[in-house]
Amino acid sequence: MLKTIGGVEIQAKHRASCHCGSVVLELSLPDGVVNPRRCDCSLCRRRGAIVASVPLDGIRILKGQEYLKLYQFNTFTAKHYFCSHCGIYTHHQRRSTPHEYGYNVACLEGVNPLTLEHVPTYDGVHHPADRQDASQPHQ
C-alpha cells in the first residue's frame, strides 16, 4: 500500500475525477493506494492505466453518474466504467474479485501515476477464471 505518490499524500477519503470533470468520485482509501498494478489483458493493454483496488462500498459517486458509460466484453462479468464525455476510464467492477472495484490511479486528484516505480503487471491474458480447464487453450 502507498500513502504518498510523488509527494502527494493519499487521503482517507480521496477524490478522483475524469479528465473533463463530469464524473467525480470519492474513494475510501484508509490504507492508501492498495495493490497498484498494470494488466496485459486485451482491454488493459490498450487503455494502459495503473489500477488499484477498493471494496465495492469504497467508491461513492459524487457527480456525473449520468455520464458514466458501461463497457463489457468476453464473459460480460467485469463492468468497466468510463466518462462518456471525455472517454477516461474511472473504475471497474472486477471479474476475478467481484467484491472489489479497480480504479484508475491516474484519476486521483493531484496524483501523477508516472512517478510510481516498479508497478507489477498482472497476467490478464491467462485470467484466473479461465484456468479451470487446463486442457483448453487460452483465448
The residues that bridge with 26 in the sheet, in sequence order, are 15, 60
User: Among residues 97, 101, 5, which one has the least CA distance to residue 54?
Assistant: 101
Nearer to Zn ion, 22 or 93 (CB): 22
* C-alpha to C-alpha distance for 45 and 20, rounded to whole angstroms: 23
Q: Is 62 a residue that touches Zn ion (CB under 5 A)?
A: no
* C-alpha to C-alpha distance for 25 and 30, rounded to whole angstroms: 15
Q: Is 63 a residue that touches Zn ion (CB under 5 A)?
A: no
With CB under 5 A as the contact rule, the residue among 5, 16, 18, 59 that binds Zn ion is: 18
Q: Is 85 a residue that touches Zn ion (CB under 5 A)?
A: yes
Question: Taking contact as CB under 5 A, which single stretch among the options 21-29, 31-39, 94-102, 109-117 is the one that binds Zn ion?
Answer: 21-29
Per CB under 5 A, contacts with Zn ion among 29-58 are none
* C-alpha to C-alpha distance for 37 and 59, rounded to whole angstroms: 19
**CB of residue 2 to Zn ion, shortest distance in Å:** 25
* C-alpha to C-alpha distance for 8 and 90, rounded to whole angstroms: 19
Instruction: Give the footprint of Zn ion on this chain (CB under 5 A).
Output: 18, 20, 22, 83, 85-86
